[in-house]
Amino acid sequence: MMQISQKGLDLIKKFEGLYLTAYLDPAGIPTIGYGTIRYPNGQKVKLGNEITEQQAEAYLLDECSKFAQKVEKLVTASLNQNQFDALVSFCYNLGDGALGQSTLLKELNKANYLGAANEFPRWNKATVKGKLQVLNGLVKRRAEEKALFESTEIGGTPIEVDTTPSPQEQVTWLEGYRDGDKNVIVAWKGGTTSEVIEIVTLERPNKEDLIAVLQQYPNAIDFRLAPKENDIPKGERISFSGKAQPIISPSTPIPFPGRLLVRGAEGEDVKILQERLRELSYYLETVHGLFDITTDEAVRAFQSDYFGVIEADGKVGEITWSNLWGKPQKITPETRKGKTYLRLTKTKRKDGHGCFILQLEYIKDGKLNDRLEVCSGQPNKQVFRTGKNSKSGSMEPLPEGKWFIHNILWADGKDNYHGKLFAVKGLGPVTVPLSYKEPGTTGRSAIEIHIDWNKTKGSPGTVGCIGVSNVTDYKRLVTWLRETDPRDLYVDWGLGTCPEPS
């Protein structure tokens, strides 16, 4: 199957431009990255969303791969790489429906390449404020696509893309069961000879969790309730709760101030509240002690994650306050192989966004010393592979194997978690780069450990990096790295290729 080359990608990038914060395009559609209007999981982009440059690149490649498949199905004439790139760019901008109904395609499938090329300039109009009008940007874009289509220069090298759908993308229908007081969703692939892809147990009986699970399967077109007499299919159960994991407090929690904090309140207790919300990555503004609209929004976001949307009233009483600080984590110093290193494994639980909850462990002198719950990859790309089988641009979690931990990098000075952010939006204020060591090699690169900075901006997960939930958790990671300077990270997905720790 043909794939777009870097030459084609560069053409698309040139005309789409890179926007890491969602905006309205000329047609009034919320857009982000390089012209993305829907994320890979099928959800529409919303104003206020923010992504990283890595995510923008991955979304672009994912969409181009899908349009490449459409072009191959529509075009029956032979194509060189330049012609193929031009057609993928055309579809990326206008959709494959436009190509499918066009005279351009008719002429092309008659092997009339000159006639097909001459059709490009006709597609220079868009509907703006209800009126169809010529746009200068489209005139220029069609001219460059036509020039590329007619070019006799050697085409670019096709970008290697893994087009195998993730398990979540393979699901075509869903079935609901009851197991005691819990709902169970069975995700199926196929028709009469269906195959179970995933079995998810909902830990809470609320509507928002059910919706969150259904959104994880972008190609599922049907949901059915199983007859009461039917048994739940056998297989591994994945636990799902839209409620965020309990906060682990590294120190003694601050006592409740004794008064209900609501919008309009002022004082030192409001400063403490803002500082704590900032540590948990909900509040990103300056701490000033006034419970304003931004503080209210941060409180509601926190309450939605920990209590549910219905309970998010923006009022901070004793229950909300105590949950903000959580409780210290009790770690049993279990014996591990090897001496001092970090270890990453997968649990059988998913977070509220659809990413598997991963455990990042700190092994000190052969004993489990501490652990964090983290994520990796995009919610609908939760495929865990070996280094050899993991490809660039896949948006999947980092592959299994041994990784080298580089030095901590700061965007705005050592230990400044609330200053300037890295220019690569979404990394936040601090990051730790990783390099793959063994076994063999992998196609993955630019893997880091950073805060999932855009989680509250509508873009949870990463494109392969390890995402730490908040500043509080990242401070614990920094403490590990400074205490013993571990340089080895063992990523073990249970695939049998992770070396033994040393």
Taking the CB of residue 358, how many other CB atoms lie within 10 A of it? 24
pLDDT confidence of residue 44: 87
| CATH C-level class of 6-150 | mainly alpha
pLDDT confidence of residue 425: 61
Q: Kindly tell me if the per-residue pLDDT of 188 is higher than 70.
A: yes
DSSP 501: P
For residue 406, CA distances in Å to 334, 409, 435 come to 26, 9, 8
Query: How would you classify residue 14: left for phi > 0, otherwise alpha for psi between -120 and 50, otherwise beta?
Result: alpha
Q: Which CATH superfamily is domain 341-492 in?
A: L,D-transpeptidase catalytic domain-like (2.40.440.10)
d(CA 116, CA 376): 44
Closest by alpha carbon to 338, among 370, 362, 358?
Answer: 362
Taking the CB of residue 332, how many other CB atoms lie within 10 A of it? 6
Half-sphere exposure of 367 (CA within 13 A, CB side): 5
Cβ contacts of residue 380 below 8 Å, gap of 6+? 40, 41, 42, 166, 168, 169, 216, 217, 218, 354
Q: Kindly tell me if the per-residue pLDDT of 245 is higher than 80.
A: no
For residue 426, CA distances in Å to 50, 360, 381, 433, 457 come to 7, 21, 19, 14, 10
Please enumerate, as own/partner, the contacts of 66-75 that have beta carbons within 8 Å and a separation of 24 or more.
67/91, 67/92, 67/96, 68/1, 68/2, 68/3, 68/4, 68/161, 69/1, 69/163, 70/96, 70/99, 71/2, 71/96, 71/99, 72/1, 72/2, 74/99, 74/100, 74/105, 75/105, 75/108, 75/109
Q: What pLDDT band is residue 398 in, cutting at 50, 70 and 90?
A: very high
Q: Kindly tell me if the per-residue pLDDT of 196 is higher than 80.
A: yes
Using DSSP's 3-state secondary structure scheme, residue 176 falls into: strand
Q: What is the pLDDT of residues 38-82, one digit of tens each?
A: 887 778 898 988 888 888 888 999 899 999 999 999 999 999 999
Residue carrying the six token digits 């190509």: 99
Q: What is the pLDDT of residues 20-34, one digit of tens each?
A: 899 998 778 899 999
Is 16 an annotated catalytic residue?
Answer: yes
pLDDT confidence of residue 263: 96
Of 16, 53, 107, 169, catalytic:
16
pLDDT confidence of residue 39: 84
Q: What is the pLDDT of residues 93-108, one digit of tens each?
A: 999 999 999 999 999 9
Q: What pLDDT band is residue 135 in, cutting at 50, 70 and 90?
A: confident
CB of 201 closer than 8 Å to CB of 193:
no
Residue carrying the six token digits 């309970």: 311
116-120, 245-249, 361-365, 405-409: least confident range = 245-249
So where are the chain's domains?
6-150, 167-240, 268-325, 341-492
Q: Kindly tell me if the per-residue pLDDT of 138 is higher than 90.
A: yes
DSSP 191: S
Length of the chain: 502
H runs (alpha helix) in 264-317: 268-279, 293-306
What DSSP string describes 326-371?
Answer: -BPPP----B-SSSSEEEEEEEEEE-TTSPEEEEEEEEETTEEEEE
Using DSSP's 3-state secondary structure scheme, residue 319 falls into: helix
Q: Kindly tell me if the per-residue pLDDT of 365 is higher than 90.
A: yes
Arithmetic mean of pLDDT over the chain = 91
d(CA 296, CA 316): 10
d(CA 109, CA 119): 13
